[in-house]
Amino acid sequence: MEILNFIIPFIVLLTIVVFVHEYGHYYFARKYGVGVTDFSIGFGRELFGINDKNGTRWKFCLIPLGGYVKFFGDRNVFSQSEQAELLKKYNESDRKKLFVVKPLYQRSLIVFGGPLANFILAIIIFTFIYMFSGKDFTPAKISEIQENSPAFSSGLKVNDVITEINDNKISSVLEVSTHINATTNENVEIKVLRNEQELSFIIEPKEVMSEDNLGNKVKRKIIGIKISPLNNEFDKQKLGPTKAMYYAVGETWFVTKTTLKFVGSMFQGKGDSSQLGGPIRIAKITGQVAQFGLIAFLSIMAYISISLGLINLFPIPLLDGGHLMFYAFEKILGKPLSQKTQEGFFRIGLFLLFSLMFFTTFNDLKDLGLF
C-alpha cells in the first residue's frame, strides 16, 4: 500500500503535465490545419481510447511515462524529392492536412507549442496558489548568527534585513535558502538593510549534507544564519489576479533561469551531478509532497511542468528542441538537412538520451540505498 502512495500521485501528476504538453502540439496543429491521427498518453499497448469527429484517436497506453501526438501522414521528410514523392500518395484535400507542407513558421510553432503549454500551466498554477492560498511577504530579518560561520566572518549582524541575493530581490523569508542554494558560483552576494543603509557582502557558503523537509538526504549550502519572522507571524497575503500572475511569471522565470545555470555548471564540471534524478526520484518526491495537501501537490506539478518544457527545448534530436534546431538550419540553408546528416544527429541524440536515462536511474537507485 505504501508504494501506491507514491505511484498514484506520480501518475496523476505526469498524466496532467504530459497531457498539457501534448495538447500544446495538438492546439497549434489543429490551428494550422494539420491532421492529427493519435493523441496518446503513455507508450506501448493501448488500454482504452475514443475517436473524435475529426478522426483523432485519444488514448491511454500501458507505459505512462510520456506521450505523443501523431500527425496525418507522419514521417521524416529529409529532401524535397522525398516530399514530392510523399505528396503523390495523397489527394489534394489530404495534402493540406500534411505537417510537412506547412510553412516553416507554422511547423516551428506546432513543435514549440508543447513546451509553451508547460510554461503556461506553471504560470496558471502559481497564479492560482497566490490568489487562493496566498504568497508570503515576511521580511527576511536575521535573528541569529552562528559564531565562526561564513556569515559571521563576512560582517553580517543580527537584525539585518536581507533585500537581495545575487541581484534577486528577496520579498519573503522563505526565499533566502532557495536563492543561496540556487547559486552555481562559489560565492553569493547578499545585500542587507541596516539602520536604513544598504550594505553588500560577498560570502562563501559551506556545503553540508542534511535532510530536507521530506526527510531526503540533500547537499545544502549554508552561511550560518537563522531567520525568524517578527513575533513568529508570517505575512501571507492573498493577491489579486494581476499581481498574482506577475509573481507567477517571476517564479517561472526564476526556476527556468536557475535550471539553465545548473545545466551550464554541469557542463563546466562544477555542478553536483548527484542531484539529478529520474522517474523513481520524482515519483518518491511527488508522493511525499502529496501528503501535505493540494497546494503542495500543485506546486510540485508546476515545477515538474517547467522542467519538462525546458528539457524539451534542449537542442537534442528526438526532443522538440532538436526539431527546432533542424528548422533553424533549414531557414539558414534554404532547404532541409540531408537524410544522412539528420540520421547522424538522431543517433547522437539517442545516445545522449539513453546515457542521461542510465545516469539518472543510477542516481535514483543509489538514493534508495541499492548501490
Angle at 252 between CA 30 and CA 108, to 5 degrees: 30
| SS3 (DSSP) at 37 | strand
CA 186/CA 332 separation, integer angstroms: 40
Residue 244 lies in a domain: no
Same domain, 19 and 95: yes
CA 161/CA 228 separation, integer angstroms: 11
CB-based contact 307:259 (threshold 8 Å): yes
Same domain, 96 and 11: yes
Secondary structure letter of residue 100 according to DSSP: G
Same domain, 362 and 322: yes
| SS3 (DSSP) at 155 | coil
DSSP for 200-216 reads EEEE-PEEEEEE-TTS-
Residue 206 lies in a domain: yes
Same domain, 123 and 6: yes
CA 264/CA 72 separation, integer angstroms: 38
Same domain, 40 and 71: yes
Same domain, 116 and 176: no
Same domain, 26 and 113: yes
Hey, what's the cell of 271?
A: 555542478
pTM more than 0.75:
yes
H/E run at residue 47: strand 36-51
The reported pLDDT for the residue numbered 272 is 60
Residue 287 lies in a domain: no
Which of 237, 269, 289 is the last residue before a domain boundary? Answer: 237
Q: CB 282: neighbour CB atoms within 10 A?
A: 19
Closest by Cα among 97, 126, 92 to 110? 97
**Structural domain tally of the chain?**
2
Q: What amino acid positions are annotated as catalytic residues?
A: 22
CB-based contact 42:61 (threshold 8 Å): yes
CB-based contact 176:227 (threshold 8 Å): yes
The HSE-up count of residue 191 (CA atoms within 13 Å, CB side) is 12
Range of the domain at 110: 2-132+305-367
Closest by Cα among 65, 56, 53 to 361? 65
Which of 237, 262, 296 is the last residue before a domain boundary? Answer: 237
Same domain, 184 and 119: no
Q: Is the dihedral of CA 89, 91, 95, 98 positive or negative?
A: negative
Say which CATH number the domain at 208 has.
Answer: 2.30.42.10
Same domain, 127 and 141: no
Residue 255 lies in a domain: no
Hey, what's the cell of 93?
A: 484535400
Residue 10 lies in a domain: yes
Same domain, 23 and 122: yes
Residue 264 lies in a domain: no
For 285, phi then psi, to 5°, come to: -65, -40
Beta strand 135-136 with 236-237 is antiparallel
Which of 237, 258, 276 is the last residue before a domain boundary? Answer: 237
Beta strand 197-203 with 217-222 is unpaired
CA 189/CA 167 separation, integer angstroms: 8
Query: Tens digit of pLDDT per residue, the chain (371 long)?
Result: 456 667 888 888 999 999 999 999 999 999 999 999 999 999 999 999 999 998 899 999 998 888 999 998 765 544 444 566 667 777 778 788 888 888 999 999 999 999 999 999 999 999 999 999 999 888 888 888 988 888 888 888 888 888 998 888 888 888 888 888 878 788 889 999 988 899 998 988 888 876 665 556 667 888 888 887 766 778 889 999 999 999 999 999 988 988 888 777 766 666 565 556 666 666 667 777 778 788 989 999 999 999 999 989 998 888 899 889 989 988 888 888 777 787 788 788 778 777 767 766 665 555 545 44
Residue 11 lies in a domain: yes
Instruction: Give Cβ neighbours of residue 170 (< 8 Å, ≥ 6 apart).
Output: 140, 162, 163, 164, 176, 179
Q: Which class for 125: exposed (0-12), middle (13-18), buried (19 or more C-beta within 10 A)?
A: buried
Residue 262 lies in a domain: no
Hey, what's the cell of 188?
A: 553569493
Secondary structure letter of residue 90 according to DSSP: S
Q: What are the start-end ranges of the E strands in 244-359?
A: none
Instruction: Give Cβ neighbours of residue 39 (< 8 Å, ≥ 6 apart).
Output: 22, 23, 26, 56, 57, 58, 59, 67, 69
